[in-house]
C-alpha cells in the first residue's frame, strides 16, 4: 500500500483481544470491516 495506513473496523470469532496484538486477516466482511484472528 505504498506506506499508507488505513483504520478499519474488525470483527473476530476469537472474541476481544488487546489493542496492538498482531492479527491475520481472515476475510473482508464489508468495504470497511475485516474479520481477523490473533497470530498466536
Tell me the pLDDT band of 13, cut-offs 50, 70 and 90.
Answer: very high
Find out whether 1 and 8 touch, Cβ atoms under 8 Å: no
Average per-residue pLDDT for the chain = 90
27 neighbors 34 (Cβ within 8 angstroms): yes
Give the pLDDT confidence of 29-39 residue by residue, as tens digits: 999 999 999 99
- Here the cell at position 15 is 472474541
Residues 6+ apart with CB under 8 A from 23: 10, 12, 36, 37, 38, 39
> Mean of the pLDDT values across residues 12-20?
90
Amino acid at each position: 500500500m505504498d506506506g499508507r495506513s488505513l483504520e478499519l473496523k474488525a470483527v473476530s470469532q476469537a472474541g476481544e483481544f488487546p489493542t496492538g496484538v498482531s492479527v491475520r486477516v481472515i476475510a473482508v466482511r464489508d468495504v470497511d470491516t475485516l474479520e481477523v484472528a490473533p497470530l498466536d
